[in-house]
Amino acid sequence: MDAQSAIDLCRGMIWTGLMLVIPILIAGTIIGLLIGLFQALTQIQEQTIAIVLKIIVMILVVVYTMPWMTEILIERAQDTFKTIPGVIPPDDQWTGGT
């Protein structure tokens, strides 16, 4: 495996990870802003409300997007397994050609 192949593999993994967590982070950010706005308008400063609601919303997003996440992970794994034969050198290169 040359350096460019390793970089491309790592770049793909990072991109896949970002794609999987972005919906969760967006949901957490939006609910955090809405709760913050609500707390500022009502002057309720209870942190437990914000944390519990964020956790609940983020879990619901994970449950709702689980089929999509699984599909993305399966595609990524299949692509990685398909590239293995092209990355690993032939057998005679390991044994010195004998």
Q: Residue 90 domain-assigned? A: no
Answer yes or no: pTM beyond 0.95: no
Domain that holds residue 22: 3-83
Q: Residue 95 domain-assigned? A: no
Q: Residue 43 domain-assigned? A: yes
**What is the number of structural domains in the chain?**
1
Q: Residue 88 domain-assigned? A: no
Distance from C-alpha of 45 to C-alpha of 61, rounded to nearest angstrom: 26
Q: Residue 41 domain-assigned? A: yes
Q: 10-residue block means of pLDDT along the chain (98 residues)? A: 80 92 95 91 85 94 96 92 76 59
DSSP letters along 28-76, please? HHHHHHHHHHHHHHHT---HHHHHHHHHHHHHHHHHHHHHHHHHHHHHH
Q: Residue 98 domain-assigned? A: no
Q: Residue 55 domain-assigned? A: yes
Q: Residue 61 domain-assigned? A: yes
Please give the radius of gyration of the chain, using alpha carbons only, rounded to the nearest integer: 22
